[in-house]
Structure 1
Amino acid sequence: MNRKPEIAFTESQQDRSKKTLADLQEAAYEIVRQADPKIFTSRALAKKSGYSLGTLTRRLSSIENIFFWAIERGRESKFLEMAENISTFDPNLSVHHFVETFVDKAFASIGEVNPRVMQFYEERFTKTHGLTADYYDYVDVVNEPYLLACQRNQTNTFRELSKNEARFIFKAALTLIERPFTSGDPLAGTEEHRQIAINALTGLLAK
């Protein structure tokens, strides 16, 4: 399988052109934060950034790519925040408490993003690039903080994992938590969904 391509933009040596790109990226990020794919358009980007449609066409090879970039930036920020939360998890709390906190924060984060944004990215990105081998690697940022949190924990409830086990388990967590939202499953976000995720992850992570 192919590797996931980096979202890149045409390089420029001119300061003015660099500023234009930075302004367009920031405008795209602000639009994505509104969590409504209906406004992921060139007109919305032109209005938000203050640049003309002609400037957008000249500076960007693809309007869609800048929204992909903005979605990836937001997703990276969310997972870095999750990794930070894991790294500061209270070592006197049990694995069940950890899993409940992890699932609840993930649900809250998805609610802020809006599943329709996730659907937009997945449908459009995979249509162009396919489902690349490293498509779900964005979750890997939580692996190391989790392994360190296990080592510090004092409750004797966390199962010792290898790096590869942690990598596989947190990708499985995406299936349990995120995929129902992305696929539009009617169970997504319900208490039943929450309990399924908590019970399954506790089974994978607990002694």
Structure 2
Amino acid sequence: MTTQYLWAPPAVQSVAVRGQTARLPINRLFFVGRNYHAHAVEMGKPVDKSVERPFYFTKAPQTLTPSSATVAYPPETANYHFEMELVLAIGTGGFRISQADAHQHIYGYACGLDMTRRDLQLVARDKGRPWDLGKDVENSSVCSEIVPMPGVVIDKADLSLSVNGQVKQHSNVDKLIWDIREIIADLSLFYHLQPGDLIYTGTPEGVGAVVSGDVIDGQIEGVGTLQLKVGPAA
């Protein structure tokens, strides 16, 4: 019997795949917090890898936004920040994955932006509250097309972001505190990773605010580029 719904269910979120007509359906969006030393320092929360492990937050798949989109400046913030990140796409599910086997679960990579209501995030952080209002923002998970790289572990790639042509972030993936293998292995201790899970691997230093009318351009060596235009306030 066909299931009937009171209203139409949400559409499946998906991302374009380079060289293919078929799109990659999205399952979950995971984000690694403070995964570059210099960014952790600029946020006032240095990381000591010898005694800490990665931490994560999630966003709803409905926040996913394609590159080249124009998005409204979000409500209830006066400090909307960009964060440029390498995005990892899981292609083969797994649980309690070893670092040695992590590459077997990689489908490909993309360029991503974790747009953040920084003022709300910091208030929540300082009060020990969840980050949802600062992070789980409509249209805030920007993702370029996925570049298929099955089994490839990116351990070095130049990453940069500019706003209106002025470089704001410039680093390299080799500066990740926890690298791709470590992230997959650790996250899979908490979740049964599934095909279509996207992992935003963290942002380097140089994050900052944008205003309506700004144009953000990002690039990751060997992966691609993305762009986001900030429109008028919602």
- If each structure's strand is expressed as a fraction of its own residues, which one has the higher value? 2
* Structure (1 or 2) with the greater helix fraction: 1
TM-score range, shorter chain: under 0.3
What's the TM-score once normalised by structure 2's chain length? 0.22
Which of structures 1 and 2 has the bigger CA Rg? 1
Whose relative contact order is higher, 1 or 2, with alpha carbons under 8 Å and at least 6 apart? Answer: 2
TM-score, normalising length: structure 1: 0.24
